[in-house]
Amino acid sequence: MALLQIAEPGQTDAPHQHRLAAGIDLGTTNSLVATVRSGKAGTLPDEQGRHILPSVVRYSSAGVEVGEAARLAAADDPLNTISSAKRMIGRGLDELASLGGRLPYEFSSAQGAVPRIRTAGGDVTPIEVSAEILKVLARRATATLGGELAGVVITVPAYFDDAQRQATKDAARLAGLHVYRLLNEPTAAAVAYGLDRGADGVHAIYDLGGGTFDVSILRLNKGVFEVMATGGDSALGGDDFDAAIAAWLLDQAGVAEETDRGVLRHALDQARAAKEVLSEQAEADVELRLSAGESWCGTLSRAQFAQLVDPLIRRTINTCRRVVRDAGVDLDEIEDVVMVGGSTRTLRVREKVGEFFAREPLVDIDPDRVVAIGAAIQADVLAGNKPDEEMLLLDVNPLSLGVETMGGLTEKIIPRNTTLPVARAQEFTTFRDGQSAMAIHVVQGERELVADCRSLARFELRDIPPMVAGAARIRVTFSVDADGLLHVEAREQTSGVSASVEVKPSYGLTDDEVAAMLQASIDHAQEDMDQRRLVEEQVEARRVIEALQAALSSDADELLSAQERETVEQGLGELARLADESKDARQLEAAIVKLEKDCEFYVERRMNSGIRKAMAGHRVDEFSQEDGQEAD
């Protein structure tokens, strides 16, 4: 292993190591990976020059196929070929039933809440399917960049709930990726557009993908993207257009709805093809191969198509109306409407969106690639490759978070469209005399009744000392981090009894399950697992060392006494030595924790100094402004 370098004390120019980072658009229909190279962001092609990877995975006894090959096999092998895994991720089997008519798979329901799809290669969860797609994209990035990825940014629909976000992060973990951040798709698109144009002002992003719809209103101001409101539907997209057309085609052909899966899949393929033709031509010819060697021929006109999809488009427009209202802006304040997602190629969508916002929507960046490109730009910034970058994304939580109270009612604790990160607390009390436990039911959604909201988690606060009803004060604190993930804590104020949960959603995998899957996928003996942990800790150690080195060379002179500096450098040297020599992951982990602890004071000083500087600049502005006012 190469020796680690340590900067000479006082050296002003940090020998900053460029970290390899990538942005991944994990889509319902297609996925892409992009990186920033020589200051330019672009999507990466595979060996055949194809940028788009169909989000399709085929399982067989021979192994796993991902992408175009799997997609082509879908019609012949529908049961073992999983597409649209994103529609299923983070959802329970009962929820899938509502999508069921369109999901041509067999589920083995016996094994808990996470749906498992029965395939020739064994039962798989949507999380594992997504992990396969992520692995292929990550391999593409490492091959192109010529090194391991330090971290990735993965995009998710803004309207994804906590369970869907957790599940996406689990998929990344299974794929062996370090996730810098989950980034909302419309925000990623705004980054790609905004940096391109440098346009300050209010913008709307309309993002209609294969299976999800999002709309965000955001304000761009001197590099800061502030999301004002977001909304959408995580089960509405171009797939639904296809399904509506397919149903019409089958109806025209006189085929019963409950037809065999092969015909259904074929009808969906023909529907999609017809939809694409209609973006260019006034009508599309369709030929449908039916089961008994027969076929049906017909045409789909633009007018007929509009009739089929208008109800779906209207749903998106209603959401736009609500989001504009939530953002507190007038329609004419919105400068641009940016179109994102493959389904915005549909002319009828552009027409209706243009009508609502009363302006021509922007389509000048490839709607398939814009999200991945935005993610790559953010990944590059998060990796610390642009220390002077002004760009900052301030996103919001898409859905209100709350708890269940008496009578099955929802008490909202964090309302939707609150800027992240956020922490909010509320106090509750007991219902009965001597009540010693309280069940906390965490829900997400806008409706009054708990039954109409999404159940995220349940946990109990126990050992509440006996008191009369209404005397206990139980403070429930919700915090949501920058990834949009929720943490809940409950504490009885008088006794200090507390309970907390990392909200592990009802439809997610437990840590043990993820670990077991990791082990199974690695399929190695214990010593390999140990080796893997050691490598992970070495990477972590290097991350900490680098961060500290960069800090020291930028402001040690200003913030540290000579003695403090020596202490920090000593600790740094010690960790560097251990990272090189130690064969014990646990020892290395302890050393990292120790160094972090020893440097806490320094980290705090740096942050405070940053804040002082940020505010100092403003005082100057303020004085000059006041002078100006006096002159009036």
Partner 1 sequence: MFDFSKNYFELFGMPVGFVLDAAELSARYRELQKVVHPDRYAASDGHSQRLSLQGATLVNEAYRTLKDPLTRAQYLLTLKGAGFGDRKRTLDDPAFLMQQMELREALADVRGSGDPQSELDALMQQISGMIKSQIAQLAVQFEDSSPEQLDAAAQTVQKMQFLNKLHAEAEAVEADLAEAY
Catalytic residue numbers read: 25, 86, 185, 207
Dig out the tokens for 369 from the structure. 């690639």
Report strand pairing: 213-221 vs 201-208: antiparallel
Q: Of residues 39, 110, 146, 222, which one binds partner 1 by CB under 8 A?
A: 222
Kindly compute the dihedral angle of the four CA atoms of residues 296, 299, 303, 305, in this order, to the nearest 10 degrees. 50
In sequence order, what E strands does 61-172 have?
A: 63-66, 81-83, 107-108, 116-119, 122-124, 151-156
508 neighbors 163 (Cβ within 8 angstroms): yes
Q: Of residues 37, 261, 322, 458, which one binds partner 1 by CB under 8 A?
A: 322
168 neighbors 223 (Cβ within 8 angstroms): no
Site pattern 154..193 for partner 1 (x: CB under 8 A): --------------------------xx------------
Q: In whole angstroms, what is the distance from residue 610 CA to residue 172 CA?
A: 33
CA 184 to chain centroid, in Å, comes to: 6
Choose among 218, 227, 600: nearest CA to 422: 227
Q: In whole angstroms, what is the distance from residue 118 CA to residue 25 CA?
A: 26
The DSSP H or E segment spanning 430 is none
**Which residue, 166 or 187, has its beta carbon nearer to partner 1?**
187
Q: In whole angstroms, what is the distance from residue 25 CA to residue 32 CA?
A: 5
- Give the residues across from 215 on adjacent strands: 206, 231
Site pattern 597..626 for partner 1 (x: CB under 8 A): x-xx--xx--xx-xx-xxx-xxx--x----
Choose among 524, 513, 609: nearest CA to 560: 609
Site pattern 224..263 for partner 1 (x: CB under 8 A): x-x-------------------------------------
Minimal distance, residue 231 CB to partner 1, in Å: 12
Q: Of residues 374, 384, 402, 484, which one binds partner 1 by CB under 8 A?
A: 384
Minimal distance, residue 485 CB to partner 1, in Å: 11
Minimal distance, residue 602 CB to partner 1, in Å: 10
Minimal distance, residue 266 CB to partner 1, in Å: 37
Q: Which stretch binds partner 1 (CB under 8 A): 132-140, 198-206, 265-273, 413-421?
A: 413-421
Q: In whole angstroms, what is the distance from residue 189 CA to residue 210 CA?
A: 16
Which residues, at least 6 apart from 596, have a Cβ–Cβ distance to it below 8 Å? 544
Q: In whole angstroms, what is the distance from residue 131 CA to residue 195 CA?
A: 30
The DSSP letter of residue 159 is T
Minimal distance, residue 394 CB to partner 1, in Å: 6
* Chain residues 392-411 in contact with partner 1, contact rule CB under 8 A: 392-394
Q: Of residues 441, 473, 543, 565, which one binds partner 1 by CB under 8 A?
A: 543
Q: Is 200 helix (H, G, I), strand (E, B) or coil?
A: coil
3-class secondary structure per residue, 183-199: EEHHHHHHHHHHHHHCC
Q: Which stretch binds partner 1 (CB under 8 A): 426-434, 445-453, 474-482, 552-560?
A: 474-482
Q: Which stretch binds partner 1 (CB under 8 A): 4-12, 90-98, 389-397, 465-473?
A: 389-397
**Which residue, 69 or 449, has its beta carbon nearer to partner 1?**
449
Minimal distance, residue 596 CB to partner 1, in Å: 5
**Which residue, 43 or 378, has its beta carbon nearer to partner 1?**
378
Q: Of residues 124, 154, 278, 382, which one binds partner 1 by CB under 8 A?
A: 382
208: left (phi over 0), alpha (psi -120 to 50) or beta: beta
**Which residue, 68 or 226, has its beta carbon nearer to partner 1?**
226
* Chain residues 125-154 in contact with partner 1, contact rule CB under 8 A: 150-151
**Which residue, 84 or 184, has its beta carbon nearer to partner 1?**
184
Q: Of residues 221, 299, 510, 624, which one binds partner 1 by CB under 8 A?
A: 221
Minimal distance, residue 478 CB to partner 1, in Å: 11
Q: Of residues 4, 103, 422, 501, which one binds partner 1 by CB under 8 A?
A: 422
Q: Which stretch binds partner 1 (CB under 8 A): 107-115, 164-172, 198-206, 380-388?
A: 380-388
3-class secondary structure per residue, 500-518: EEECCCCCCCCHHHHHHHH
Q: In whole angstroms, what is the distance from residue 160 CA to residue 154 CA?
A: 13
Q: Of residues 139, 289, 302, 321, which one binds partner 1 by CB under 8 A?
A: 321
The DSSP letter of residue 488 is E
Q: Of residues 482, 501, 514, 559, which one binds partner 1 by CB under 8 A?
A: 482
Q: Count other Cβ atoms within 10 Å, centred on residue 492.
A: 22
**Which residue, 262 or 354, has its beta carbon nearer to partner 1?**
354
How many residues in the chain? 632
Q: Of residues 318, 494, 495, 624, which one binds partner 1 by CB under 8 A?
A: 318
* Chain residues 360-379 in contact with partner 1, contact rule CB under 8 A: 378
**Which residue, 366 or 540, has its beta carbon nearer to partner 1?**
540
Dig out the tokens for 397 from the structure. 């939580």
Minimal distance, residue 597 CB to partner 1, in Å: 7
**Which residue, 49 or 617, has its beta carbon nearer to partner 1?**
617
* Chain residues 546-575 in contact with partner 1, contact rule CB under 8 A: 547-548
Supply the angle between the helices 526-559 and 585-598 in degrees, to the nearest 10.
20
The verdict on 418 binding partner 1 (CB under 8 A) reads yes
Q: In whole angstroms, what is the distance from residue 396 CA to residue 470 CA?
A: 34
**Which residue, 368 or 569, has its beta carbon nearer to partner 1?**
569
**Which residue, 120 or 603, has its beta carbon nearer to partner 1?**
603
Q: In whole angstroms, what is the distance from residue 436 CA to residue 453 CA?
A: 27
Q: Which amino acid is at 356?
A: F
**Which residue, 180 or 507, has its beta carbon nearer to partner 1?**
180
Give the number of residues in contact with partner 1, rule: CB under 8 A.
53
Choose among 475, 353, 341: nearest CA to 403: 475
CB burial of 366-394 (b: ≥16 within 10 Å; e: otherwise) equals: ebbbbbbbbbbbbbbbbbbbeeeeebebb
Q: Which residues form the interface with partner 1 (CB under 8 A)?
A: 19, 150-151, 180-181, 221-222, 224, 226, 318, 321-322, 325, 378, 381-384, 390, 392-394, 418-423, 479, 481-482, 543-544, 547-548, 592, 596-597, 599-600, 603-604, 607-608, 610-611, 613-615, 617-619, 622
